[in-house]
Structure 1
Amino acid sequence: MSELRTRAVLGIVWSSVHRFGSMIISFLGNIVLTRLLSPEDFGVIGMMMVFIAICNTLIDGGLASALIQKDQVDDIDYSTVFSWNLAISVFFYITLFFTADSISAFYNINQLNDILKVLGLVLLINSLYLVQVNQLMRQLNFKLLALINIAGNLSGVIISIFLAYLGWGVWSLVVKNLTTSVVIAIFCFTLGSWKPSFGFSIKSFKELFGFGSFVLLANLAETIYVNIQALIIGKVFSADQLGYYTQAKKLEEVPTKGLAAVVNQVSFPVFSRLQNDLSKVREGLRNNIKAITFINFPLMFWLIIIAKPLIILLFTERWIDSVPFFQIFCVWGMLYALNTLNTNIVKSLGMGSLYFTIQVGKRVVGLVIIFFGLRFGIMGLMWGVASAAYLSFFVNAFILGKLIGYGIICQIRDVFGSLTCSIIVGILVYFFTPFLHTSTIIIDITLISIAYLALYIGISYLTKSSGLNIYLNVFKRLFRR
């Protein structure tokens, strides 16, 4: 148990390096690209990524999660998944290739035809290294995974900036995605311990697909739900609006999805190892929730307050229409990592059918809310997305109350302190912001940030916040070493 705990802690550290490192590289590159490309360019690539994301989910087939969740995995299991991924990726690329013209006509943008045919090659490349990535995750070898992904993202960003400077427009973003995938594939093949083979076992496939099929359907529902927002905006409104939406989402995802990705990458394999001891699962989940919300809640409130000057500073005033999108994304983002943790517990316990039922049920209701919100325009759609996230929390917590005895009341009680403190500090800083205003945006952001951080840490210390105590105890153990 102590060895697993040590590997889990190291996993969190390297997974953080992986996720935040890759996202920061993409984020910094994105800042440069917004000065070289138009909102329409980002909107066009956003339209195409809807179809790429759905195909990637279908290619994975839930088998990756099955590999991680399974107690004992042998070479034939890996080979079976590799062969399946490769075969199905070829099928979906051919499908995209011959439907590209129809998709272009759907959006009424002619250049989408060629873009999708080239961008679709990402499906083939990704299928080559999915097994190696999941083997590294299963081994909790997040250090190598971090180095590989950072190298891939850095290569893609550098080349895309160079091409955008030369005037390639939206094609620089296409090449960025292709370059990132190619570099990751090369490093996985050269540094990974498992080498691809084309063996295939019907027995292995049935065992893996028994659990993976439910994860696939749940992930498919999630992918469609997330990406249908971009599809609706691109079709009903405009490429420009989708560009503002896309940039706001990318900015919000740096902290939100970065944190959630770390949680997802480490918690799933770790809790899978503990699935036979529910008391340890419950205690681990509780500590994770306290630690995550202590950071995530104040972070989102802070970003809402500084949204306008932050976007002007990073992307220039040309992107100011992204501000309301970004603020609503932050409201939604408060619960993203929390929801990820809760749903991971269901997967970790091997309850694939229940996981599928929960996810699909939430997303069907979420789509109803989104389409209802669409009646009030694009902001109505956005608030529908945010509302659905809060509904998901109550559903997830209710289910965990039944499974491990850690339900809605318990979870609200554990996050109440961080939430209340974040709201109080957010209100105080918001009303005092005019007194901190100067003639320089970066100074304004710095003063607001210092004031927010000082108040939040101060109040948390005085109220003996359990979230703060978790981090203080971690630092104490580190210094003792």
Structure 2
Amino acid sequence: MREVQMLRNIKSGMFWTFLGTFTQTVLQVILLVVMSRILTPQDFGIANLSLAIIAFLSIFSLMGIGPAVIQKQDLTNIQIKIAFFLSITFGLIIVTVLYFGSNLISSFFNTNELQNVIKILTISVIIQSIIVVPESLLNRKLKFKYLATVQIFSYIGYFLFSIIFAMILGNYWAIVISYIMQNVIKFFFIIPKVQMDFKVPLVIRESRELLKFGIGISISRIFNQVALQGDNFVVGKMLGSTSLGNYSRAYQLISMPITIVNTAMDKVMFPILSKEQTNDKLLKQFFIKMLTINVIISLCIIAFLLNLTDIFVLIVLGNQWDTAIIAIKILSLSILFRGGYKISDTILKSKGKVYVHANLQFFYATSVITFTVIGSRWGIQGVSWGVFLSILLNFIIVTSVCMKYLKVKINSLFKGNLKLISLFLFCELLFIITKSKIVFVNSSITSEFLLFIAVFGGFFYYCYWILIKNIKEINIIKVGDK
């Protein structure tokens, strides 16, 4: 009975979370098409830099409280009250730092516009501090359907506000205001759903238990944000806001497809696997199967981005974004490894190995900053190669550590995946050779797309068949076996 219930939770959670993330991604693509024709690369650069700064410093306000609430096996009402109190307290501290430090931040990046933008964005930091515990409780209770609804409606609000304010204001403020409104919508969906007792007892022992895990998560997230946003900071500081606008659009495009899978997996599997954190056999089976699924999905996405980027950018972004094409092709190569290390991250967090994870994230952050600074000498293409190398190294190291904890042999990972990778490389080589030998008579865009389908059609069908097979095998994993 326990096995059946867990599988139901996984299926239901994956479906609703996937639906929410997929809907958001579709809206992101549409919004990207519209906004890229209204705003300039410089507008996107200013908005993305300010949001990256807020995302980084928000880690200190949240202090890993949310994941601690989800991961703790025996959570008491007192701990919930303390978690809420701590999240509000840390949030107010970070808001104060951001508000009064905005001038220093804008001076560091040589972007005067950042000062007022960061001050306004502190509103979103306060909102996130309030909703983090209620949202985590909904995750803990596996309320994935409701959370997916919140995700969809909040992003619909962001979508509509972005277009409206872009047409009215015509600058980066459209993105900033819409981001705040997205958080406001989430607030009004989540707070009424969870009853919170605001009387906070001062219990040091309970606080220490939450913070022990929470601080470990925070350290991991700090380094992870340095890794995720470090390239933006480097481009913004060394290449300027216009280059950052081009680079951030390229990174967003390659992130969208794999985010659908990664977000669904992390949001669903983390709370569920946390309940089975001592069941190494179960974790091992999921680890192997999810890595195979990641290889299948990633190779299909890479095939599209690597070969049809020119067409995609022209249709989606327009002519003014053609400098992002090479960056997209380079960054697309990292999709396979990015998805892979995310799976290992989820396993390590579910087992409570937050300080091991923090050490790994420190290395990842260091490599991103180092390689992107070196690569910035060659513009956004050099930065893209720096990010690719960092993600590759992080994948190798994090996956190796996860394999050690789960006692997974390396041949278990290569089994079946080598055939997929070999077939992909064969199709890619065939497409490149065929494309170079053919002179297109009619529309080069249509002809190139048809050639792509002709060469990769069999590969996509094979991937679909293997994907269905692995999903069915996940459904028969025995939860009770240890």
TM-score by length of 1: 0.92
Q: Are 2:453 and 1:450 equivalent residues in the alignment?
A: yes
State the shift of 1:120 in Å.
Answer: 2.2
Q: Which amino acid aligns with 1:175?
A: I
State the shift of 1:443 in Å.
Answer: 3.6
State the shift of 1:284 in Å.
Answer: 1.5
Q: Which amino acid aligns with 2:246?
A: Y
5+ residue gaps, structure 2: 477-482
State the shift of 1:204 in Å.
Answer: 2.2
CA distance in structure 2 between the partners assigned to 1:286 and 1:142 by the alignment = 24
Is the 8 Å Cα contact of residues 397 and 407 (structure 1) preserved in structure 2?
no
What is the aligned partner in structure 2 of residue 297 from structure 1?
299
CA distance in structure 1 between the partners assigned to 2:104 and 2:315 by the alignment = 39
State the shift of 1:386 in Å.
Answer: 0.4
Is the 8 Å Cα contact of residues 87 and 129 (structure 2) preserved in structure 1?
yes
Aligned-residue sequence identity (percent) comes to 19
CA distance in structure 2 between the partners assigned to 1:408 and 1:393 by the alignment = 14
State the shift of 1:429 in Å.
Answer: 2.9
State the shift of 1:266 in Å.
Answer: 1.5
State the shift of 1:215 in Å.
Answer: 1.4
Deviations along 1:227-271, one digit per CA (max 9) or x if unpaired, are 121111111112111000111111111102222111211221222
Alignment of 1:162-201 (within 5 A): 162-190=164-192, 192-195=193-196, 197-200=198-201, 201=203
State the shift of 1:378 in Å.
Answer: 3.3
Q: Which amino acid aligns with 1:311?
A: V
State the shift of 1:415 in Å.
Answer: 2.7
Is the 8 Å Cα contact of residues 63 and 208 (structure 1) preserved in structure 2?
yes
Is the 8 Å Cα contact of residues 251 and 328 (structure 2) preserved in structure 1?
yes
Is the 8 Å Cα contact of residues 306 and 332 (structure 2) preserved in structure 1?
yes
Is the 8 Å Cα contact of residues 45 and 241 (structure 2) preserved in structure 1?
yes
State the shift of 1:342 in Å.
Answer: 0.8
Residue 364 of structure 1, aligned match among 344, 363, 366: 366
Q: Are 2:69 and 1:67 equivalent residues in the alignment?
A: yes
CA RMSD of aligned residues (A): 2.4
SS of corresponding position for 1:194: coil
CA distance in structure 2 between the partners assigned to 1:167 and 1:210 by the alignment = 45
State the shift of 1:323 in Å.
Answer: 0.8
Is the 8 Å Cα contact of residues 400 and 407 (structure 1) preserved in structure 2?
no
SS of corresponding position for 1:90: helix
What is the aligned partner in structure 2 of residue 347 from structure 1?
349
Classify 1:437/1:194 alpha carbon distance in 2 versus 1 (closer, same or farther; 3 Å): farther
Is the 8 Å Cα contact of residues 61 and 92 (structure 2) preserved in structure 1?
no
What is the aligned partner in structure 1 of residue 277 from structure 2?
275
CA distance in structure 2 between the partners assigned to 1:453 and 1:133 by the alignment = 42
CA distance in structure 2 between the partners assigned to 1:132 and 1:58 by the alignment = 18
Q: Which amino acid aligns with 1:199?
A: V
SS of corresponding position for 1:151: helix
Alignment of 1:2-401 (within 5 A): 2-190=4-192, 192-195=193-196, 197-200=198-201, 201-401=203-403
CA distance in structure 1 between the partners assigned to 2:63 and 2:130 by the alignment = 14
Is the 8 Å Cα contact of residues 54 and 220 (structure 1) preserved in structure 2?
yes
Deviations along 1:280-303, one digit per CA (max 9) or x if unpaired, are 110111111112221112211221
Is the 8 Å Cα contact of residues 310 and 445 (structure 1) preserved in structure 2?
no
State the shift of 1:433 in Å.
Answer: 4.2
Is the 8 Å Cα contact of residues 67 and 134 (structure 1) preserved in structure 2?
yes
Q: Which amino acid aligns with 1:136?
A: L
Higher mean alpha-carbon deviation, 266-275 vs 370-379, is at 370-379
TM-score by length of 2: 0.91
Classify 1:108/1:388 alpha carbon distance in 2 versus 1 (closer, same or farther; 3 Å): closer
CA distance in structure 2 between the partners assigned to 1:453 and 1:136 by the alignment = 42
Is the 8 Å Cα contact of residues 230 and 368 (structure 2) preserved in structure 1?
no
Classify 1:36/1:448 alpha carbon distance in 2 versus 1 (closer, same or farther; 3 Å): farther
Q: 4+ residue stretches of structure 1 with deviation over 6 A?
A: 472-476
SS of corresponding position for 2:469: helix
Classify 1:65/1:238 alpha carbon distance in 2 versus 1 (closer, same or farther; 3 Å): same
CA distance in structure 1 between the partners assigned to 2:85 and 2:422 by the alignment = 51
State the shift of 1:395 in Å.
Answer: 0.9
5+ residue gaps, structure 1: 477-481
CA distance in structure 2 between the partners assigned to 1:49 and 1:225 by the alignment = 15
**Number of equivalences:** 472
CA distance in structure 2 between the partners assigned to 1:38 and 1:411 by the alignment = 44
Q: Which amino acid aligns with 1:102?
A: L
